[in-house]
C-alpha cells in the first residue's frame, strides 16, 4: 500500500497537450513527452511517437533498469520482440520487461503512431533530447560515441 491516509487527496496533475515537450528525430519522427517521469513521480513515462512513412526506427536493443511497452495507435509499426519482427496494427500492444531484446520501426508507406510506456519513469526524455540535438546539429557519431551515448542512457545493442 502506497497511500495510507484515511481520506483521498486532491493531487491530480493536468498536463495540457500544449505544454508537452516535443522533439524531432533525424528521420522526421516527432516524439511528444505526454507524461514524463517528472510528471508521474517517477512511476512511469508515456511518450507518443509519430513516425512518417519509411522513417525506420530503433534497432534491436535492451535496457537493464526499466521495462518498455508499445501500443500502436495508427498505421503499421514493425515490432521486434526478441525472436522476430511482427507487424503491429492499431490496438496491438507489446510489453518488454527489463533485459528483453526489442526494437521498432516504420517501414510502411504511411505514417504510424504509437505510445511508448517506460516503467519506472526514468528520465528517458534526456536520451531522446540528445538524439534530437545530434540530428539538429547534423552530427555523425562514431561507433565509440554511439556506445557511450547508449550506455549513459541504459541502452545496449543486442
* CATH number of the structural domain spanning residue 47: 2.60.120.10
- Write the pLDDT tens digit of every residue in 98-153: 999 999 999 999 999 999 999 999 989 999 999 999 999 999 999 999 999 999 99
User: Is pTM, for the whole model, over 0.75?
Assistant: yes
* Residue 7 is assigned to a structural domain of this protein: no
Report if residue 75 sits inside a domain.
yes
Q: What is the pLDDT of residues 55-84, one digit of tens each?
A: 999 999 999 999 999 999 999 999 999 999
Contact residues for 33 (Cβ-Cβ < 8 A; gap 6+): 20, 21, 22, 45, 47, 125, 128
| Assigned C-alpha cell, 25 | 528525430
Domain tally, the chain: 1
14 lies in some domain: no
- Give the CA angle between residues 61, 112, 98 to the nearest 5°: 25
- Tell me which residue range forms the domain holding 106: 19-157
% of the chain with per-residue pLDDT over 90 = 96
Residue 71 lies in a domain: yes
Within-domain flag for 4 = no
In a domain, 47, yes or no: yes
Q: Rounded to the nearest 5°, which phi and psi values hold at 135?
A: -65, -45
| 133: in domain | yes
Domain-located, residue 37: yes
Amino acid at each position: 500500500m502506497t497511500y495510507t491516509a484515511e481520506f483521498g487527496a486532491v493531487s491530480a496533475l493536468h498536463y495540457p497537450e500544449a505544454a508537452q515537450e516535443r522533439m524531432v528525430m533525424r528521420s522526421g519522427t516527432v516524439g511528444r513527452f505526454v507524461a514524463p517521469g517528472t510528471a508521474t513521480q517517477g512511476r512511469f513515462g508515456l511518450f507518443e511517437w509519430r513516425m512518417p512513412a519509411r522513417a525506420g526506427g530503433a534497432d534491436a536493443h535492451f535496457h537493464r533498469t526499466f521495462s518498455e511497452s508499445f501500443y500502436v495507435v495508427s498505421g503499421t509499426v514493425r515490432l521486434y520482440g526478441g525472436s522476430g519482427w511482427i507487424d503491429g496494427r492499431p490496438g496491438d500492444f507489446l510489453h518488454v520487461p527489463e533485459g528483453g531484446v526489442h526494437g521498432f520501426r516504420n517501414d510502411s508507406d504511411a505514417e504510424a503512431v504509437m505510445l511508448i510506456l517506460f516503467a519506472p519513469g526514468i528520465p528517458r526524455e534526456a536520451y531522446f533530447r540528445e538524439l534530437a540535438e545530434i540530428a539538429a546539429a547534423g552530427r555523425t557519431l562514431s561507433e565509440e560515441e554511439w556506445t557511450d551515448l547508449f550506455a549513459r542512457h541504459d541502452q545496449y545493442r543486442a
